[in-house]
Structure 1
């Protein structure tokens, strides 16, 4: 279906600027036909034709009377929504994100909307009426498809595959098109399917007691069908005790079969009715906050309230186990009773089963949860409930920012320091904490509360400088003492036995003591797998990924070598590729190897592992946490997953097995992140009953960060780090833009980066670092180069620099040699 271009449009013509879920530098404009002028509005989806025959569902950004310059404008083909799917605030947020994070509004839209709102272009075959019905010159496969088309008039690709019982049907389709039997029409496919369930009801003829009594006592059809009679009696019982009942519930509870139910339906006694139902089962919408705050918590809550009278952002610096969540619950209660919506953000929603349970206990059906483990159908239902105001409190990871809040009053960003708030791939490469702060400004009197036991240096700097309010909660709930931290010098306990190197003697003794006291233990190692790398004992060769410049990690459970950058797996290496030797030394250790060592030393202890390899599926993490809470597990080994969102009463010992590894990253934030990680892990110990103990294995006994962790001295860390940041002009004293160049040819990407740096140097020379190869300089067959800009904290300079970068990208791509070089800007991204 071709749409004619429209020319000579007068000033009364209505236009729509539409965002398409593609990386287009500018939004396109379409003309709105007369028939849609009453219905089209910002935030609605429209069907548009882009290019020759590709159709997309875009979101209308604005409706106006300004014809685009030098462009022939096509018509909007259809309006897909009677009401907007997003509000004005979301459209303004998309625009800001695209501008600030140097991407396109289409890329933001693609990240923001559930998949079912982004309609796909699906090929439809349409029968050519002029072809007639003589198919004698066609082969067997062509004949089958042509005959089906003649009868049905239209076929979708999956239907063609079904007819031919084959997946590769394109050659057949191409031959039919060439023979003019059919032609291709592109149509948009709406992929959201509401969930339907079959409910069972009594036929209206038997609504009265008398009619029902005659049916049960006199109807010979039932008296001859004992199973059907039992099913009917079961239905009447459930209908009186539980109200409405689904077919699945009835058959399960009555122990009956489909055949028994079908017999009652055919006799006109029961009727079956399909209904659309929610995928997310809602609880009652009660508000039941029935706990008392401690005096320290009450003071902190009052201070937050005082801050919110003059500032929109407040940082709550509360030590681990100080009861920050109870303060959040009290604030949620306050805003909920005022009728406002609340967004409670957590760094990784899959790790917060405990928080979900706590909130649902107090707020029931007011709570909605939004995260990546939900199906697309579940996500769209939560989206609509938030948009309609049926869900007032949303608990979610960073993607929950995109939900269509209408009256947002409070955003809580818990564990605000966490690196998981930063989106790395793909665009938009946004930071959810910073985006939340901007997002709050789009709503009337919306406040932001940042919470952490180990705040990011940027947030703490903003708070101490007076940009944010600062509230401190330095007392653990119930006056429980902070855990005692001890260092174990690994140089004193070196052994020929790998297991003894992983678990030193003092740590093994402490684990045994905790088990004897029927307490639980958490062991932390920030590496998954069995062995991070193997090395040939003769020549030092290390097996590496063919597609990335990294060593392979051995996973014993799968008996495979795996690249943690591209995911490629390889069979285990038993022969050195360089010298032919068969003797390999295993270097370092991951969570799998720790688990093996624990089984060697504590065979009777119940151990479990929590990392990305062991926790898969929608409910796997939730089940593991419950097992640990119910003391079905004695020792839990894990990566960063064990740090976040966990509160266990019975943990008396935490072990950090390789502090040296945490302190060895080449990153200006390494000390800050090492402190945060170790302090957060330490906070899992001794949260309710008695003082906890933390043992840290290290060979750097005098490292300043370890001494600060030992003293729980966040202020000392902050003062040391902030002076270095100022000296070397790093955030919060500068703004960083990292440019990554990618290409399959090493020389091309190197030359492109140098050319780019040269073009920027005249204006930004003193702010430029690089270009240089990153530590991992090849990923997925693409060679990498990096260029770093450390810019002054001036909005004007930052905005101009972004424009100059985008201009230079366009200039670079004008040259044939560099056309295939990918340039990825990452704002605030190091």
Structure 2
């Protein structure tokens, strides 16, 4: 009799044993998907971890079907799953769930996802008819705005005569509603009038970008060539190399040459980026060179496409290069030779919720170690403390590229003392005179500007002017953010929305005002200050779809929009030619954050967003607004002095037991009832202190102590380098088992965040 140990796509640890019925023995091997029963009526698609003849000491159920003719999971990928499960203390079932596309775990027949697109009716596809359509909706303001937005998005607005222009773009209904900020009813009204119509398209097809042109890669400049040679030399001795290159030094071009070399050696490449927005821009550059050898993989792609890419990677003709966000690390690679992790410092590489809370950078380094001679290149202008420390200690190779491409100077950074200007009543809202003058000048000269504010929404909160009442989420321990365009208060933790009150429920006053400022409010104000500007906003609210990213970036790149307002999304390596001015509206909001990494992250964000200025042709200008211009970090940003920042922070980290000298593990407890949560956290804290002594801090309430009606407590464990991590994990799991046996804590959730960001 044959048996299989399988992983179920459920938050369960370890594997589960089933028997293999007669006739199926030859069909089942490790890495295949099988259909298994669980409980009385449920069925799941499980992953075979092992096939053996060892009879378990219980009656096991038989599997009901084999779904693959060859393994869906390669041995290296399964070993990565095991490492992630072990290191990040996450059930193997959670890793399976995160790694595999949904279509490969569903018992329903796989259907490709369809998306609804909007198009202009054929009778209006000439200049004269378009004017008629616009006149028809002139009095219906929402319809008029929606139609105008559609014409701009699709580029029908640049129609001349009767001939449709080449560059007409497809627009999804969701995208149109997102951009025009209208409801489905408004779009329906335009359809009912016969001006627009909708049609369905299958979303997500595999890349058919044509043949590759490896011979057409641009030659490297002297500094780039030198860095390229140094990287290859370092890779002879080290498995991981850090490329520390200033913004706009041409790191991507070096990556392209390294990718070509790997392809010529018949090896595959994994190219990881922290943000989907970046994937969109670099994809175009890579398509030109690598054509249909390039596959794209990230969460905004349809499940249909992700399943197809997974299957292609297992086929005889896999992609040579995979470009993707963190989930691409899970794809099967048959002959991986190079991993490039661009913007390696980015916190987006760390998965926060749900489990597994893995860091894609660490996972990718572990994955590369599983392939003979595979190497990892970390690239960034602002290295993470951990990576730079490893490079300085000789664990990683280090290559530095200190000049911008074509010797363009780094931007001039002007620090503006907001406190002083407020005192002298010279500020216009949150905008200094020097910032407004610089933006005005840039727009007048046909250049572009970027305004950076790391907070979305219209206002972070509303407050009653009379009694100080602030609306809070009923599910979470946070105040609600005002989103004016949809006239709703939104919780950024659980997503719940509330109507904006007309009067204060506490005192009845109607004097409710917004406090603070988000990207949406900035967009409103800037459009009043610069009515001639063509403004775009890039934040989580305007980039819900993959097409929204592409449209925003392509419109700004082509000059269709000339003023971009955004959150940290815009700081991440985007390359725009005509940006001459960047405004950092509030540096202090990044610095005054209760986290030991606040200064590190603030420096990275400010240095990165500054690097968007003056990319080609001339030196850019950055206006950095702060209430504390004398802080050392402001001077470090101005002089791009990463080494000084590194030395200062490193000393603090050593003194107060933080990475890179110590590993952190956050232990979280969640329960509906606050008293039970508090009691359990005190007991667990006492148990852990008995084993780990002063390495344990807490329990404490986190900054947000209730999310989605669950109360939260947090315990921090600081573990010095060299401690037996395996033993630590055994103790933590044992502590969890002790708590689970206590009947008071039946509904208690305990989970871990290893190496938190």
TM-score by length of 2: 0.86
2:514 is the alignment partner of 1:527: no
Q: In the alignment, what sits opposite 1:118? A: 105
Task: Report how far residue 609 of structure 1 moved.
Answer: 0.9
SS at match of 1:91: helix
Q: In the alignment, what sits opposite 1:279? A: 205
Q: In the alignment, what sits opposite 1:699? A: 627
Q: In the alignment, what sits opposite 2:44? A: 56
For CA contacts below 8 A with separation 6 or more, give which structure has more relative contact order. Answer: 2
CA contact (8 A) 2:476 2:708 kept: yes
Q: In the alignment, what sits opposite 2:132? A: none
Whole-Å Cα distance in 1 between the matches of residues 288 and 377 of structure 2?
22
Task: Report how far residue 576 of structure 1 moved.
Answer: 2.1
CA contact (8 A) 2:573 2:612 kept: no
1:395-421: CA deviations, max 9, x gaps?
Answer: 000000111111100000000000100
Q: In the alignment, what sits opposite 1:744? A: 672
Whole-Å Cα distance in 2 between the matches of residues 575 and 508 of structure 1?
35
For 1:294, which of 221, 226, 232 is the aligned residue?
Answer: 221
CA contact (8 A) 1:354 1:645 kept: no
Whole-Å Cα distance in 2 between the matches of residues 706 and 593 of structure 1?
26
Q: In the alignment, what sits opposite 1:643? A: 571
Q: In the alignment, what sits opposite 1:434? A: 362
Task: Report how far residue 453 of structure 1 moved.
Answer: 0.3
2:278 is the alignment partner of 1:359: no
1:377-411: CA deviations, max 9, x gaps?
Answer: 11111111122243110000000011111110000
Task: Report how far residue 46 of structure 1 moved.
Answer: 1.3
SS at match of 1:508: helix
Q: In the alignment, what sits opposite 1:85? A: 72
Q: In the alignment, what sits opposite 1:400? A: 328
2:63 is the alignment partner of 1:76: yes
Q: In the alignment, what sits opposite 1:444? A: 372
2:508 is the alignment partner of 1:580: yes
1:422-464: CA deviations, max 9, x gaps?
Answer: 0011111100000001011111111000000000000000000
Q: In the alignment, what sits opposite 2:95? A: 108
Q: In the alignment, what sits opposite 1:713? A: 641
Q: Give runs of aligned pairs for residues 344-743 of structure 1, distance below 5 A.
A: 344-388=271-315, 389-494=317-422, 500-743=428-671
1:171-190: CA deviations, max 9, x gaps?
Answer: xxxxxxxxxxxxxxxxxx33
SS at match of 2:391: helix
Q: Give runs of aligned pairs for residues 230-269 of structure 1, distance below 5 A.
A: none
CA contact (8 A) 2:581 2:621 kept: yes
CA contact (8 A) 1:387 1:403 kept: no
CA contact (8 A) 2:13 2:91 kept: yes
- With over 3 angstroms needed to count, the CA separation of the structure-2 counterparts of 1:193 and 1:482, relative to structure 1, is closer
Q: Give runs of aligned pairs for residues 810-825 of structure 1, distance below 5 A.
A: 810-825=737-752
Whole-Å Cα distance in 2 between the matches of residues 343 and 83 of structure 1?
23
SS at match of 2:741: coil
1:556-578: CA deviations, max 9, x gaps?
Answer: 11111111111111111232232
Task: Report how far residue 194 of structure 1 moved.
Answer: 11
2:47 is the alignment partner of 1:42: no
Equivalent residue pairs, number: 668
Whole-Å Cα distance in 1 between the matches of residues 52 and 113 of structure 2?
34
Task: Report how far residue 316 of structure 1 moved.
Answer: 0.4
CA contact (8 A) 1:743 1:784 kept: yes
Task: Report how far residue 469 of structure 1 moved.
Answer: 0.4
1:728-776: CA deviations, max 9, x gaps?
Answer: 0101111111011111111110110000011111111210010000111
Moved more, 111-120 or 480-489: 111-120
Whole-Å Cα distance in 2 between the matches of residues 118 and 482 of structure 1?
49
Task: Report how far residue 497 of structure 1 moved.
Answer: 9.3
Q: In the alignment, what sits opposite 1:214? A: none
SS at match of 1:362: helix
SS at match of 1:404: coil
SS at match of 1:24: coil
Whole-Å Cα distance in 2 between the matches of residues 279 and 534 of structure 1?
44
Task: Report how far residue 192 of structure 1 moved.
Answer: 4.6
Q: In the alignment, what sits opposite 1:66? A: 54
CA contact (8 A) 1:502 1:597 kept: no
Q: In the alignment, what sits opposite 1:339? A: 266
Q: Give runs of aligned pairs for residues 14-25 of structure 1, distance below 5 A.
A: 14-25=2-13
Whole-Å Cα distance in 1 between the matches of residues 43 and 495 of structure 2?
34
- With over 3 angstroms needed to count, the CA separation of the structure-2 counterparts of 1:662 and 1:468, relative to structure 1, is same
1:709-741: CA deviations, max 9, x gaps?
Answer: 011000000000011000001011111110111
Whole-Å Cα distance in 1 between the matches of residues 671 and 478 of structure 2?
17
Moved more, 282-291 or 344-353: 282-291
Q: Larger C-alpha radius of gyration, 1 or 2?
A: 1
Whole-Å Cα distance in 2 between the matches of residues 652 and 98 of structure 1?
46
For 1:98, which of 71, 78, 85 is the aligned residue?
Answer: 85
CA contact (8 A) 1:14 1:63 kept: yes
SS at match of 2:463: strand
Q: In the alignment, what sits opposite 1:827? A: 754
Whole-Å Cα distance in 2 between the matches of residues 277 and 611 of structure 1?
23
Whole-Å Cα distance in 2 between the matches of residues 496 and 782 of structure 1?
47
Whole-Å Cα distance in 1 between the matches of residues 749 and 366 of structure 2?
29
Task: Report how far residue 74 of structure 1 moved.
Answer: 2.2
**What is the Cα-based RMSD across aligned positions, in Å?**
1.8
Task: Report how far residue 376 of structure 1 moved.
Answer: 1.1
Q: In the alignment, what sits opposite 2:173? A: none
1:452-504: CA deviations, max 9, x gaps?
Answer: 00000000000000100000001100000010101111112228999812111
CA contact (8 A) 1:30 1:73 kept: yes
1:302-357: CA deviations, max 9, x gaps?
Answer: 11000111111000000000000000000000001111110000001243322000
CA contact (8 A) 1:493 1:505 kept: no
1:499-548: CA deviations, max 9, x gaps?
Answer: 81211111111111112222110000001111111222222221111111
1:661-716: CA deviations, max 9, x gaps?
Answer: 01111000000000000000000000111100100111011111111001100000
- With over 3 angstroms needed to count, the CA separation of the structure-2 counterparts of 1:52 and 1:397, relative to structure 1, is same
Moved more, 488-497 or 695-704: 488-497
Q: In the alignment, what sits opposite 2:187? A: none
CA contact (8 A) 2:426 2:433 kept: no
CA contact (8 A) 2:31 2:73 kept: yes
Whole-Å Cα distance in 2 between the matches of residues 465 and 641 of structure 1?
32
Whole-Å Cα distance in 2 between the matches of residues 476 and 640 of structure 1?
22
2:110 is the alignment partner of 1:191: yes
- With over 3 angstroms needed to count, the CA separation of the structure-2 counterparts of 1:295 and 1:809, relative to structure 1, is same
CA contact (8 A) 1:541 1:576 kept: yes
- With over 3 angstroms needed to count, the CA separation of the structure-2 counterparts of 1:339 and 1:728, relative to structure 1, is same
Whole-Å Cα distance in 2 between the matches of residues 62 and 338 of structure 1?
33
Q: In the alignment, what sits opposite 1:263? A: none
Q: In the alignment, what sits opposite 2:246? A: 319
- With over 3 angstroms needed to count, the CA separation of the structure-2 counterparts of 1:700 and 1:193, relative to structure 1, is closer
- With over 3 angstroms needed to count, the CA separation of the structure-2 counterparts of 1:95 and 1:76, relative to structure 1, is same
SS at match of 1:335: helix
CA contact (8 A) 1:494 1:501 kept: no
- With over 3 angstroms needed to count, the CA separation of the structure-2 counterparts of 1:795 and 1:386, relative to structure 1, is farther
Task: Report how far residue 71 of structure 1 moved.
Answer: 2.1
Whole-Å Cα distance in 1 between the matches of residues 24 and 629 of structure 2?
72
Whole-Å Cα distance in 2 between the matches of residues 354 and 369 of structure 1?
12
